[in-house]
Structure 1
Amino acid sequence: MSIQWKGIMPAVTTKFTDNDELDLKTFELNINAQLEAGVHGIVLGGTLGEASTLLDEEKRLLTTATVDIVKGKVPVLINIAEQTTKGAILAAQKAEEDGAKGLMMLPPMRYKSGDRETVEYFKAVANSTSLPIMVYNNPVDYKVEVTLNMFDELLKCKNIEAVKESTRDISNVTRIKNRFGDRLKIMTGVDTIALESLLMGADGWIAGLVCAFPAETVAIYELQKAGRIKEAIEIYRWFLPLLELDINPKLVQNIKLAEVYTGIGTENVRAPRLPLHGEERKQVINIIEDSLKNRPTLPDYKNL
């Protein structure tokens, strides 16, 4: 296995300048904060990364820039979210050329593919690349579920190695472990049930609020891994109001506003998204400010 599917992997936000161009300076600031906190990988171009608004050349620039920033310390993954099989294969090939070490893959966009079509889509891409693949299973937001029976077929492709488990059903972690053991690694993908999923056997966490709070997120993972469950729960309980900002249609704006408060981002989003305003903005600011007032002192989680 070329990627260790474990630990905290931020689904990082894409930074934009006031002129709506890539802001690589602020982006590097945030990536370095993630590395300093001890994350285990970086995921580019997901929902939080505003993938649907990015040009192909911007995705490639983000990939090469991130590879240069991390300098091999952690693997860099890029999300594949395409409308056609041909487009997905091309995106995977470009990712490999640009130095990505793995792919996170959604089912086809726009068209609601059936089970057989979904399986053939993933297999076609897997057979076109040597990169390891994590299937992003999020039927709540993307309306296509990758079932265990479908994974039976998909796992015939050796480089399909992991699932980003976002069904919102914690018991699915146990179902996957019972069915596939360690053959299919599990990265939980929903912030508000992340610790519960890790305790039930998930291998890692593709996280959202980590973009603004990297140390707290990594601390939760490392503490539970070390068996210091009570300490992990205490941090997680403090974190929950912030984590709930991730399960919201405005998750990008919410998390980018949180990044401003922790000094590692800006509020700039790409239209049609707009920064939060009015009462909605006030509510999010209240959550962020209340959390910062009570921010926990973390143990030396890097040396457990």
Structure 2
Amino acid sequence: MNLGNVVTAMVTPFNKEGRVDNAKLKELMDVLISRGTEAVVVGGTTGESATLSMEEKAALYKASVEASGGRIPVIAGTGMNDTHATAELSLQAQRDGVDGIMLVAPYYNKPSQQGLYEHFKTIADQLTLPVMLYNVPGRTMVNMLPETTIALSEVPNITAVKEASGNLDQITAVIANTPPEFKVYSGDDSLTLPAVAVGADGIVSVSSHVIGSEMQDMIQLYRSGRVEEAAKLHQRLVPFMQAMFIAPSPSPVKTALHIQGIDTGGVRLPLIPLSQTEREIVEHALNEAAGISRFPSS
């Protein structure tokens, strides 16, 4: 499964009543594709998975497949802290036609490294779809060590990892010790270029809802040898990336989209809308990002 350079961790659009809005989802999918997104993760952290019911998640996967229409891969974020329930939801997503599964490390339970290995392998063994692991210790309170990821890369259908540890040494160790066909993606927007520089395949991003094309440009500049230009673009994009995390995600990015006229609704409690001060920061970041032009073809 080819996910390309830029994968968007897609927000879940809600209507005024707070229910999932499939019409808005289709519109958002079109926008993301036009902005350089090459694959989407639906029902992940940015998609407010913690507040979606099992029925809502299953419906979201199916609606996302329909919205994509085969244009880009749809990855279902099915990970939970219950191995059996995660396997059941993953099988449902597989039946609904998604292209892959993303499994977050179990949160709250704080499993051992062997527990992480058994959790992921148990689920992957029941699936025929490719599986992306997701390591995000800031949310799960457990860091999947490189040795565990390396061991899991030997499971035939575990084909990628989203590394959101924020630790370049850890990302480097995973890249250096997994097969070439095993894909490593940064899970931190501001580490996109540094991660690519040490061999990562790309980014699973929140900021790409708005600046996906510019992130594509940055990666392509680096890979074409125009390293200084890539670095300068990185420097200009980082303030916007930082603005997307001034409050718990996805409140900032949903606000940014709304300012741009792309309605994805609000967020569900316990998340709340941005304060006026936070909104002004997002507006300023949007204005600054608007001045970042596409690089000339060479």
SS in 2 for 1:251: coil
Q: 2:55 aligns with which of 18, 39, 57?
A: 57
Q: Distance in 2 between matches of 1:65 and 1:218?
A: 26
* Counterpart Cα distance in 2 of 1:83 and 1:228: 43
Question: 2:67, 2:91 → 1: CA distance?
Answer: 21
- CA contact 1:187–1:203 (8 Å) conserved in 2: yes
- Aligned-partner SS, 1:104: strand
Q: Which amino acid aligns with 2:86?
A: A
Q: 2:92 aligns with which of 82, 94, 97?
A: 94
Structure 2 runs not aligned, ≥5 long: none
1:140 aligns with 2:138: yes
Q: Provide the rounded CA distance (Å) in 2 between the counterparts of 1:246 and 1:170.
A: 21
Alignment-derived partner of residue 148 in structure 2: 150
Q: Deviations over 1:4-63 (max 9, x none)?
A: 243101001011111111122222222111112332211101111101011222212221
Q: Deviations over 1:225-282 (max 9, x none)?
A: 3333333333322211110134455221111111122332345111222211233333
> Distance in 1 between the 2:214 and 2:147 partners?
36
Q: Which is further off, 170-179 or 98-107?
A: 170-179
Tell me which amino acid in the other structure corresponds to 1:137: N
Whole-Å separation in 1 of the counterparts to 2:40 and 2:148:
27
**Contact 1:27/1:265 (8 A) holds in 2:** no
2:66 to 68, 85, 91: 68
Give the residue type in structure 2 aligned to 1:298.
R
Letter in 2 for 1:235: L
Q: Give the corresponding residue for 2:216.
A: 218
In the alignment, does 2:157 pair up with 1:159? yes
Equivalent residue, structure 1, for 2:193: 195
Residue 300 of structure 1, CA deviation: 5.7
Residue 67 of structure 2: SS of its match in structure 1? Answer: helix
Q: Secondary structure at the match of 1:29?
A: helix
1:297 aligns to what?
A: 293
Aligned-residue RMSD, C-alpha: 1.9
Q: Is the 8 A contact 2:73 2:99 kept in 1?
A: yes
In structure 2, distance between residues paired with 1:296 and 1:175: 33
1:247-286 matches, cutoff 5 A: 247-286=245-284
Q: Deviations over 1:59-89 (max 9, x none)?
A: 1222112211222122110112212111011
Secondary structure, aligned partner of 1:212: helix
Contact kept? 2:153, 2:179, Cα under 8 Å: no
Q: Against the structure 1 CA distance between its residues 300 and 221, is the aligned structure 2 distance closer, same or farther, given a 3 Å change threshold?
A: same
Cα distance in 2 for partners of 1:220, 1:179 equals 26
Percent of residue pairs identical: 26
Structure 2 match to 1:30:
28
* SS of structure 1 residue aligned to 2:250: helix
Whether the 8 Å CA contact 1:89–1:128 is kept in 2: the answer is yes
- The CA distance in 2 between the partners of 1:137 and 1:103, in whole Å, is 14
Letter in 1 for 2:5: G
Mapped to 1, the partners of 2:156 and 2:256 lie a distance apart of 39
Amino acid corresponding to residue 212 of structure 1 in structure 2: V
CA offset at residue 284 of structure 1?
3.1
Query: How many residues end up aligned between the 2 structures?
Result: 298
The range that moved more, 184-193 or 18-27, is 18-27
TM-score by length of 1: 0.91
- Equivalent residue for 1:234, pick from 221, 232, 235: 232
- Cα pair 1:5 1:203 within 8 Å, conserved: no
Structure 1: which 5+ residue stretches go unaligned?
A: none
- Aligned residue for 2:71, secondary structure, equals coil
